[in-house]
Amino acid sequence: MSSKLWEVDPATRSKLQSLTKVHSNNRCVDCGAPSPQWASPKFGIFFCLACSGVHRSLGVHISFVRSVTMDAFKTIEIRKMEEGGNDAWKEMFDSHETNKTIGRIFDECTIAERYDSEAGEEWKERLTAKVEERSFDLATWKAERKAAAAGASKPAISSAQPSGRSTPQPSSNPSQKAQNEAYFASKAQQNASRPDTLAPSQGGKYAGFGSAPTPPPSSTPQAPRAEDFQRDPVAALTKGFGWLSSTVSKQAATLNEQVIKPNLNNLAHTDFAAQARQLGTTVGSSLQQGTQTVGSSINKFIDPDAQPQSGARAEPAKKDFWDSFGAPPKGPPEEKKGFWDDFSAAGEQKAKADERKSVGTSAMKAPPGAGQGKKSEEGAWGDW
Kindly report, residue by residue over 54-76, the tens digit of the pLDDT: 999 999 999 999 999 888 899 99
- Indicate the SS3 state at residue 92: helix
Instruction: Say what percent of the chain tops pLDDT 70.
Output: 62
Tens digit of pLDDT for each residue in 161-219? 444 444 444 444 556 777 777 888 888 878 788 887 777 777 777 775 444 455 555 55
State the pLDDT at residue 231.
73
Q: Which parts of 138-215 fold into alpha helices (H)?
A: 138-153, 174-192
Are 322 and 303 within 8 A, CB to CB? no
How far apart CA 246 and CA 222 sit, in angstroms, is 10
Using CA atoms, how far apart are residues 47 and 40, in angstroms rounded to an integer?
8
98: CB partners within 8 A, 6+ apart: 117, 118, 119
pLDDT tens-digit map of 255-286: 777 767 777 766 655 665 567 667 767 767 77
The pLDDT-based confidence of 301 (bands split at 50, 70, 90) is low
Amino acid at 137: D
Top mean pLDDT of 78-92, 227-241, 285-299 is at 78-92
